[in-house]
Amino acid sequence: MMKRWGFMVCTMLAMVLTPLAGVAVVQAAETSEVGFEKPHNGAEVNGKFKIKMEVDGMKVHKAGNIIDGTGHHHLIIDGDCIARGQVVPKDATHLHFGKGQTETTLGLAPGKHTLTLQFANGHHQSYGRDLCTTIHVTVK
């Protein structure tokens, strides 16, 4: 009887916990922030310009595994922050720096643009607005 009861408890736990196995807790340290070292908000830039990304309170690490206190940058062109826990899309306006890069050269059409820097974990799951910032640039 005890063996049967133990089997039932284990089975119920497996049913409850299995859906949670692939879910990663996505949370940034409270004192963390991301920013652009270059360019600055309101900058006028040429068609091709250098971007330097930074993060404080977290470490930049390549994508692949979720490691507490780490992540990598994503640059969103003319878009907004990604909600916490959502995977950052990969397309022409959502650039991934999954190798741990902190610099890039970007080419944009003339006019006003927003650049949003989003930090995400090793599975590209966003840390949300806590690790997101947006600046405005004008391309000459």
Question: What domains sit in the chain, N to C, each tagged with a CATH number?
Answer: 31-139 (2.60.40.10)
Structure tokens at 63: 């994508």
In what order do the strands lie in the sheet containing 103-107? 33-38, 48-56, 103-107
The rounded distance, in Å, linking the Cα atoms of 64 and 98 is 8
pLDDT, one tens digit for every residue, the chain (140 residues): 444 444 444 444 444 443 444 445 455 656 799 999 999 999 999 999 999 999 999 999 999 999 999 999 999 999 999 999 999 999 999 999 999 999 999 999 999 999 999 999 999 999 999 999 999 999 99
Buried b (16+ CB within 10 A) or exposed e, 4-24: eeeeeeeeeeeeeeeeeeeee
- Prediction pTM value: 0.80
